[in-house]
Amino acid sequence: MPLSPRTQTPRAAHPPRRARPLRRRTAAALLASAVSVALLAATAPPTALGLGDRLFPTLGNPGYDVTAYHLDFTYSGDNRKPLAAVTTIDAWTTTDLDRINLDFAHGTVESVEVDGEPAAFTGVGEDLVVTPEEPLTAGSWTRITVRHTSDPVSADHQDGGWVRTADGLAMANQADAAHLVFPCNDHPSDKARFTIRVTAPDDYTVVANGLPTGRHRNAGTTTWTYRTKHPMATELAQVSIGRSSVLHREGPGGLPVRDVVPAKDRDVLEPWLAKTPDQIAWMESKVGPYPFETYGLLMAQASTGFELETQTLSLFEKDLFTEPGYPKWYVESVMVHELSHQWFGDSVSPRSWSDVWLNEGHATWYETLYAQEKADRPMETRMKAAYGASDTWRAAGGPPARPKAPAPGQKISIFRPSVYDGASLVLYALRQEIGHRAFDRLERAWVERHRDSTATTADFVRLASDIAGRDLGGFFDVWLYGAKTPPMPGHPDWKSTAPGKPAGTGTREGTGKSAATGKPVGTGKSAVSGSAGSGKQAGAGTRVMPGTHGASGPHEASGPRGASGKSPVTVGGAG
């Protein structure tokens, strides 16, 4: 079904439950009910559902609004073995429900309860379909508890979820992989608060989204608990399990900053980590107060080739900071790209995946602005190069606000250059059109108005028009949805190379290979103009060096990423 705006109303932590129908019924009523259920089961078998997202139509589920997740994992110390897990979901129903569909596709379900009562369940496609003992009525609060395993070994054609590091695990759930880790309503339009509890051997350190609320030792294991203070999309969940050091410092206004690094590398990584407070202050000077309760970097000891804006704890590949070939300005720009996502993408989340240009375009914008102000790398130079490649990007990946659907088996291929530098180019054109002051007011108003919520492209167009004092619908229509790049305001001399002709970007669009060397460049999700576009799975290529592909900038990619009654059922393929 098509997506519709969600009203996010503050709710009590433990709202009163709507009364259930009385269990005492006459024999006749019970018989009639049993016949009705039998007829319903015969005529309407469990099916996979979805919210109708244009890019991921089967992702998410209708009929309820999740308010909270409680995730409980037990880690054995071997990152090849499934974790024992219990996922508890608190939700409000938005319609009468005979069944509840959850996204879950990579684990063994042992049991399901709805409001403390056993419920039947079955796996259909990538859904876990739960049938409660009694139907749920619209407007009621319900709690769903699923006991399951969470498999860190990826199955075929399932990218994302757990990332196995040299000493443990981390998560990379974007765009549609949280349901490979835990049952959920796996769509950014349904944000919720999270409590995450992990039990691991004593020699491991666990860090997750939000702030710690407890740590308890018991017979060789330690249980760590974290809780978010703000709602979060499932794709932004993060859990780090490893032999790690946690380094603490203070950010602007006393903000607690904590970084997670391999214990043996803490000294060599400290100079990079020390930059974060000033970077937060810089972002606050541009768009307003940092939106969450904490921030920090998780430097994973893994060969991933990507960075990811997991909420309050951004995921980075450690080698980005230790590889001597990366210039200092480049690494810092990558850091700012992920930091800026905390405002654009995390606090203000896309209501549909077609709105992802709002995330990546803004993150690319601020990484570029930071490089201009701190490293004397002019934004105009990068934007002009992006303009030259823009028609090629639109032909290969679709215009910024209407990206082409992901390639089969390559779901992260929606992250093409058109939603990075192509989208940042739209913001540059907008600033040229309405002026610097109006643009700066727009940016601040956007993150303030939609904080802790979701928003659409139409919302952005409306707000920009209000601040500019004129209708900008026509301007945005051609820039966001046109097959061809419109003339750049203030730069009539800028030209965009026609698709199929050399664009100066150094890549053959759609192949992910360098036009100069024929070797792979980029891995599917890139903030480097022209550095990717193949939709390759994360880790399939190599990190692109700045200055080699026209409009150069940081690289970012997302990747490596049961059935009836009481009997266990395996949902999805085993790893």
Which contiguous run of DSSP H or E holds residue 241?
Answer: strand 239-242
* Confidence category of residue 469, pLDDT binned at 50, 70, 90: very high
The model's pLDDT over 362-393, given as tens digits with 9 standing for 90+, comes to: 999 999 999 999 999 999 999 999 999 999 99
The model's pLDDT over 416-460, given as tens digits with 9 standing for 90+, comes to: 999 999 999 999 999 999 999 999 999 999 999 999 999 999 999
Residue 17 has pLDDT above 90, yes or no: no
The token duo for 25 is 């019924």
Stretch 105-132: mean pLDDT, rounded? 96
Percent of the chain exceeding pLDDT 70 equals 79
Task: Round to whole Å and give the CA distance between 506 and 388.
Answer: 12
Which contiguous run of DSSP H or E holds residue 354?
Answer: none
Bridge partners for 83 per DSSP: 150
DSSP 307: -
CA distances from 76 to 150, 151, 197, 201, 213 (A): 12, 12, 14, 7, 22
The model's pLDDT over 158-211, given as tens digits with 9 standing for 90+, comes to: 678 999 999 999 999 999 999 999 999 999 999 999 999 999 999 999 999 999
- Which residue has better confidence, 535 or 68? 68
User: For position 25, what pLDDT does the model report?
Assistant: 34
The model's pLDDT over 292-349, given as tens digits with 9 standing for 90+, comes to: 999 999 999 988 778 999 999 999 999 999 999 999 999 999 999 999 999 999 999 9
Q: What is 450-501 written as a DSSP string?
A: TTTEEE-HHHHHHHHHHHHTS--HHHHHHHHH-SSPPPBTTBTT---PPTTS
User: What are residue 498's phi and psi, to 5 degrees?
Assistant: -65, 145
User: For position 362, what pLDDT does the model report?
Assistant: 98
Task: Round to whole Å and give the CA distance between 208 and 206.
Answer: 7
Residue 525 has pLDDT above 80, yes or no: no
User: For position 11, what pLDDT does the model report?
Assistant: 37
Residue 148 has pLDDT above 70, yes or no: yes
Residue 21 has pLDDT above 90, yes or no: no
Global pTM?
0.84
